[in-house]
Chains A and B, each alone.
Chain A
Amino acid sequence: MNLNNIFGEIEKVDADMYDRLNTRRSAFKEFASAGGKMALAAVPLALGSLFQKSYAGTKSTKDSVVDILNYALTLEYLESAFYNMALASPGLIPGGAATGAIQTIAKHEMAHVAFLKSAIMAAGGTPAPLPVFDFSAGAGSGMGPFKDVFSSFELFLNVAQTFEDTGVRAYKGRAAEIVQGGAYLTAALQIHSVEARHAAHIRSMRKAYGSGVGNVKPWITGKMSGINSPLVQASYDGEDNTKQATIEIVNINGFSISFDAATEAWDEPLTKDQVLAIVTPFFKK
């Protein structure tokens, strides 16, 4: 993917996106071409509340694309800051393979931040500012349930897994809004699959280093986190879906496909509101 190509296409995509997401206009077009027979579902354009402040000042015609990019940027800020703080915490991450893996992941998250900032500016928007984080999940108190996250390696991996799995689901949850989004969509997909690679590796690290992690696998089984805390469950709810587009996957066409395999084979999206609810405790109020 050539950066110049992406930015070259941005204006074109924006115009198309605006056209498509402008419900009144598209409703009219659909109505006219279908002879007035078709009902039309409006594309929801509700903006989030948590990051609303960050979006003030962006051009109204660019809101749809910039909104989604800033949403992604804010999640990448979260991950990037998290891994940088972990790497800066003496004695947290064992040397050798574990440190190497976290350095690799941190490098990607930092690159995602830089990439998304550039893309937002190229789209005529303003990148959301770097938030103040509280990785204890205490909303700024520093005394939340994960207050030992940078001293307990086990807890650090638990939170890392939750961030990565949530990130994968978060990108998926906005995909429908940028369908036919050209180079934007491709770039989002290219970040999305990197997050999935991270998630798989963090899960393998938990299996290698942790105790009491159950049969945690590189993929998500049912809606199990493998983490002994109800606090992360919202990141896994809905992953136990076995029906895709009305088609039941368990034992499909006579093949012996278990419930576990059927749920593992498909990662499920999370809506923006679900993601915001999950990550809000990690932002200072």
Chain B
Amino acid sequence: MPKSLSETNQMEASETKISQLSRRKFLGYASAATGLMVVASACNKEQVMNTTSTQNTNVTADGTVDLGTGDIGILNYAYALEQLEAAFYTMVISKPYSNISPMELAMLTDVRDHEISHREFFKNALGGMAIPALDFDWSTITFTSRDSVLGTAKAFEDLGVSAYNGAGRLIKSADYLVLAGKIVSVEARHAAAIRDLIANGTFADDTTVDAMGLDMARKPLEVLAIAGAYIKTKIDPSHLPTY
């Protein structure tokens, strides 16, 4: 294990702004050494220096949540989406729609548990760098209606797949990229299963897979513009990496 972790930490803290290169190198070494938790705690000092908030380092005075920069920003972006999905399915299972079949209840319970495990993973992995819990707006969803619930689930899962597909190239750490890859294929399985519940055979129809056989990919700003309809908390994605 690199003995330079504490040195790296000092180096990071002494910089007013981390350059992309040093952050990239730092993340690589830190994750190789001890995993994401260390990254989060080591970076925390720098984050605290750059903000005035005493509650959460990512929240500005007017309550806007700043996703942050670099790989941490992308992980927070994923964390925000997983929060949305997990909260939605938690609502769905707490009061299932009318006449839900045992098969559908079991399937949606699985999906809820998957999304909660994704959400809690990001929370723990990000540690002190994590954005806070977001507030959601479910006013457009009729939780007693199968059509409304499954239609929303389909939209969220397809959106999630396109979000990970579109954000992958923004990730600098190979370790984080593989973690995102482990999640996105499960989101795609969810999307397919829910689509088949709505109409069997639509698991990968032409509305999501193009003529080249490629699934959708969306940039973070495109995803947040869509997801924003369900998120009350103001999110500032302006420091995320772009392409």
Contact = CB atoms under 8 A, between A and B. Distances in A.
Interface of A: 1, 3, 30, 33-34, 37-39, 41, 97, 100-101, 104-105, 107-112, 114-115, 168, 171-172, 175-177, 179-183, 185-187, 189-201, 204, 217-219, 244-247, 249, 252-253, 255-258, 261-262, 264-269
A190 B215 contact: yes
Q: Top 7 closest A-B pairs, CB basis?
A: A111-B213, A196-B188, A246-B35, A200-B192, A261-B113, A190-B214, A265-B114
Given A1-B212, A108-B209, A189-B217, A245 B165 contact: no
Given A204-B193, A257-B117, 15 more contacts: A34-B25, A38-B25, A110-B213, A179-B177, A180-B172, A186-B217, A189-B217, A192-B181, A197-B188, A197-B191, A217-B107, A218-B193, A258-B113, A262-B117, A266-B117
Interface of B: 2, 4, 7, 21, 25, 29, 31-32, 34-37, 107, 110, 113-118, 120-121, 123-125, 161, 164-166, 168-169, 171-175, 177-179, 181-193, 196, 200-201, 203-205, 208-217, 243
A1 B210 contact: yes
Given A252-B124, A264-B186, A265-B114, A3 B179 contact: no
Q: Which of B117, B171, B208, B210 has the most CB of A within 10 A?
A: B117
Contacts of A3: 212
Contact of A219 (B29, B164, B189): B189
A35 B125 CA distance: 29
A267 B120 contact: no
A28 B167 CA distance: 30
B25 A183 contact: no
B172 A38 contact: no
A92 to B, nearest CB: 18
A205 to B, nearest CB: 10
Contacts of A168: 185
Contacts of A186: 165-166, 168-169, 217
A172 B169 contact: no
B185 A267 contact: yes
A219 B36 contact: no
A109 B190 CA distance: 20
Contacts of B183: 265-266
Contacts of A256: 113
10 contacts: A193-B184, A193-B215, A194-B214, A196-B184, A197-B188, A204-B203, A244-B121, A247-B37, A257-B120, A264-B110
B213 A191 contact: yes
A256 to B, nearest CB: 8
Given A218-B189, A247-B35, A179 B204 contact: no
A1 B190 CA distance: 23
B222 to A, nearest CB: 13
A269 B178 contact: yes
A250 B209 CA distance: 33
Given A41-B32, A258-B113, A245 B175 contact: yes
Contacts of A175: 168, 174, 177-178, 181
Contacts of A218: 107, 189-190, 192-193
B182 A266 contact: yes
B171 A253 contact: no
A185 B176 CA distance: 14
Contact of B37 (A101, A189, A246, A261): A246
Given A1-B217, A186-B168, A257-B113, A115 B212 contact: yes
Contacts of B113: 255-258, 261, 265
Contacts of A100: 201
Contacts of B124: 247, 252-253
A165 to B, nearest CB: 10
Given A196-B192, A245-B31, A269-B182, A108 B169 contact: no
Contact of A257 (B4, B116, B172, B179): B116
